[in-house]
Structure 1
């Protein structure tokens, strides 16, 4: 089983301790059965000896169960935490494009539902091992009573186990199908939370989303889960049927086959009845461990997929070192991706661009021209498929791409706003943040204490200002703003273009702004226009001349 291999790899000590305590618990149970059988069949025996033996064995069983469960809690929680951390590290190290292909729903299911399934199985591991040990201890006691009867019972149980295996194997297949349906279901959950406004505004879209998307996914998930659980219930009841058949054979057929003493018969009946509980527990654990195996397999598949694409060195603990640079070149850079709606491949490039320190550059173009994709290539989030990026003549490759990304601070159109200023270590962080809140006209809305924002429940334009606040505090050498001003009111849009951007330029920052606000184009040193993935030739130099003339007129 994959889960057992995982336990041996991650928690070898826990498995060893749990196994030893389980064996001791099984021995205590076997001793209790024998002692009860002696007390029932020999009431004239030494009462004090039986009482002391009973107390010692009962105490031993309780202590071993307590130790194994406490030990398990300690190690299983560590193992689960290690899985989450390892998976998150792999996510952080994988190129953005591959993460976009994997999809957020698949990642979320792995980090939540799959981890919970594994946790539930790990918590049941001591109970499972104790139940198995009790079955083994009971079998040893039965063998001491009559080895021939034990052999016949083992053959009978082996036949039942083969039939049981067929049923649960079919159940495991249904669990795999249910897990695939769950991935789709999480995708619909994300669409529900992120697209709730669009769903509320369009009745037919809402109906199609519920009836076609959600209904189909939930029905598949329900159908496969019911199929799996039905097979597990059949297997469970098959075990009970075999148990009662075994009891009938012992009570009615065994005396005709072999003469047994009353003590031996009583021992067989009592032991078999006692073992029914542990046997039912083992069978119930199979379904739980089956789900955990499916979850672990999905996590391993995702982890292997991420590891294969993890070509970059993406450090976490390494301290950031400022990089002094003067020139950034894109040489023959291309990138392509498939457009589902158009059924064609979009190719960006080849792109040849140069950026200098302290330069203010505007990037424009029609919708779908590749502006955001180019921004992700420039910032190192997408590696070029062909061509190369050079920083002061040094090629940017997988080995140093993460270092290269540290020169950028960006606010993308699909930005994420954290509720604290994480990763910013500055003794005057709150004071600096307050200054920027005043400048961004957010001091009456948001307070900052120990780097934590009092709220992020703001309008879209105000949230973008908070994202800009974070970018300001990062104090990187290259700033990128993707349609940042599109959600701002006219007054603050004016402030952004005429005050904030020139201030960054004055501080020696390189600024790239993706924008359609042609009213402010003259403020840029350069304007670059993309047209279906290509830079319009001659556009940059022509705009440089026009912008210079406009600035001269503005100055007059």
Structure 2
């Protein structure tokens, strides 16, 4: 995507996405607007009003009669209907072109956000949150697209209004001045409706994130909610409360825009009434001139109301642009080297490593891990243990280079890991976290590993539960233990130098727990891998080469194999 929503407005996004199509769409819409303006003198002249100065030199005399039908001014009728058909074609073509641009823009924006998410540090993604990202990818992009489609329509209306006002100025400058002053007053009176309506819709947009988060909890927390009806009812009540608040804000915003729209229509009729009953006497307008002016003002009603209606789509689009921009500003991009060759990892070292979570307020409790100093070498299995909240999982994310230390450092082969090189260093690390995600297909299989898949499937007792067809798993509808075994299979096939397992054995039956600790870890050690295991299974501690004990975020002790075996 060539443009960036972080520093480009809605119109700028359209122009940079497809400048030629946007230009042609605007030109066609403008020509259609000019043709709509030209219909007025034709209509006035056809009514034989004393306003021939609107269309000097145009003669539409005579009549055509056939089969009992009479058409006055047939040449005018042909021109009028031909112009209407041409307007239809021009506006339709303009809308089609703009729709193509908006559709492509919507896809490009989504892909831009996909890439931002894919290249953002894990800390940033966790800070922004799932619900905010989902809202940006769904409702915000849809509203942005809807608003963008209004641009050529608004331009068409503006040209019609400009042409009509110019025509009125030609007819009677005094009446035109009165109409312009009335328009300024009308716009000023409409501003409170627009401002407070937009403010209400902006607050309703903030509720979208909460609703998505509640829906996520409703789906992924269904087991917990079913076990406690009071908890479920309280959760549902809170969800309904947020949705009711969103509905009230949307209703308030929509009502304000509706009232503003009706007010604009009333102002238009009020101006027509003042012209007909007051200004006609003040400027001594002839009946024919008055009828012409009133007809032109009635013709002006449609574009005026159209612009007001379009604003009800443009303002939510602007709110969505700001929401997406705010979301993306929180996502930094990790530096990725063009060379994706894996760095062979012989030693992974934490030196006075500390990691502290960000807090919103200074008075909030800030959980911190460290300082931790430890070394992990090839052919070595390390266990990290400790109670809940001791910092084990946080430490595993730092060691897998998802988090960068707040203080101290991580070294790979005695080279310090920084923002500049961590993406490259991380490519030779495989990890299965407690909140792991299982993808529906294999995306990266090490050379020669595919031939071992049947043996691995049989060894992990998966051959009866799931199969692979063209690299895609037949099903992911498995038990938690089976899903972890599939994740282990994927990790095997990736063949990395470093393996991190966060409570992998927690959901396994005794048979596979034993198999994991005595066979899988031994095999990885024999292959010369660096293996880091987060575990509570103290009966297997003696199998570790080193045991790292954590407590309240701090390193309590490191015991080596000799001491463990004693």
Do these two structures clear the TM 0.5 threshold for a shared fold by scoring above it? Answer: yes
With 49-58 and 455-464 compared, the bigger mean Cα shift is at: 49-58
2:3 corresponds to 1:3:
no
**Structure 2 unmatched runs, 5+:** 1-7, 50-59, 64-72
Partner of 1:235: 260
Partner of 1:507: 527
Q: CA–CA distance in 2 between the matches of 1:431 and 1:41?
A: 90
Higher helix share: 1
Partner of 1:44: 61
- 1:241-278 Cα offsets, whole Å, 9 max, x none, are 11111221233223312244454333323332233222
Q: CA–CA distance in 2 between the matches of 1:430 and 1:128?
A: 58
Q: Is the 8 A contact 1:461 1:487 kept in 2?
A: yes
Shift of 1:414: 0.7
Shift of 1:53: 2.2
In structure 2, relative to structure 1, the CA distance for the partners of 1:93 and 1:360 (3 Å cut) is same
With 95-104 and 368-377 compared, the bigger mean Cα shift is at: 95-104
With 480-489 and 89-98 compared, the bigger mean Cα shift is at: 89-98
Q: CA–CA distance in 2 between the matches of 1:127 and 1:448?
A: 52
2:345 corresponds to 1:313:
no
Alignment of 1:363-378 (within 5 A): 363-378=384-399
Shift of 1:350: 0.9
Q: CA–CA distance in 1 between the matches of 2:165 and 2:358?
A: 63
Shift of 1:10: 4.6
- 1:163-183 Cα offsets, whole Å, 9 max, x none, are 011221111111222122222
- 1:273-323 Cα offsets, whole Å, 9 max, x none, are 23322222211111111111111111111222224xx4x3146xx463121
SS at match of 1:344: coil
Q: CA–CA distance in 2 between the matches of 1:426 and 1:484?
A: 22
Shift of 1:130: 2.1
2:559 corresponds to 1:540:
yes
Shift of 1:396: 0.7
Q: Is the 8 A contact 2:342 2:425 kept in 1?
A: no
With 67-76 and 265-274 compared, the bigger mean Cα shift is at: 265-274
Partner of 1:266: 291
Alignment of 1:40-439 (within 5 A): 40-41=47-48, 44=61, 47=73, 49-211=75-237, 213-307=238-332, 310=333, 312-314=334-336, 318=338, 320-337=340-357, 344-422=365-443, 424=444, 431-439=451-459
Partner of 2:67: none
In structure 2, relative to structure 1, the CA distance for the partners of 1:430 and 1:129 (3 Å cut) is farther
Q: CA–CA distance in 2 between the matches of 1:110 and 1:235?
A: 28
Q: CA–CA distance in 2 between the matches of 1:264 and 1:3?
A: 43
Q: Is the 8 A contact 2:445 2:494 kept in 1?
A: no
Partner of 1:553: none
Q: Is the 8 A contact 2:541 2:564 kept in 1?
A: no
- 1:350-400 Cα offsets, whole Å, 9 max, x none, are 111111112122221111111101100001011001111111111111100
SS at match of 1:328: strand
2:516 corresponds to 1:490:
no
- 1:183-220 Cα offsets, whole Å, 9 max, x none, are 22222222212211111111221222122x21331232
Partner of 1:552: none
Shift of 1:348: 1.3
- 1:487-543 Cα offsets, whole Å, 9 max, x none, are 111122222222222222222221111112222223222222212222233x413x4
2:23 corresponds to 1:16:
yes
Q: CA–CA distance in 2 between the matches of 1:433 and 1:425?
A: 10
Partner of 2:483: 463
Q: CA–CA distance in 1 between the matches of 2:157 and 2:562?
A: 80
Q: Is the 8 A contact 1:411 1:468 kept in 2?
A: yes
Partner of 2:544: 524
- 1:405-461 Cα offsets, whole Å, 9 max, x none, are 111111101101111223x26787765444432222112221222222221111111
Q: CA–CA distance in 1 between the matches of 2:448 and 2:353?
A: 41
**Structure 1 unmatched runs, 5+:** 550-556
In structure 2, relative to structure 1, the CA distance for the partners of 1:270 and 1:512 (3 Å cut) is same
Q: CA–CA distance in 1 between the matches of 2:42 and 2:374?
A: 87
Q: Is the 8 A contact 2:11 2:148 kept in 1?
A: no
Q: Please give the TM-score of this superposition, normalised by the length of structure 2.
A: 0.89
SS at match of 1:320: coil
Q: CA–CA distance in 1 between the matches of 2:251 and 2:35?
A: 39
Q: CA–CA distance in 1 between the matches of 2:339 and 2:293?
A: 69
Shift of 1:52: 4.0
Q: CA–CA distance in 2 between the matches of 1:370 and 1:358?
A: 25
In structure 2, relative to structure 1, the CA distance for the partners of 1:500 and 1:529 (3 Å cut) is same
- 1:5-57 Cα offsets, whole Å, 9 max, x none, are 54455554444333222210111111222222222227635845324422442
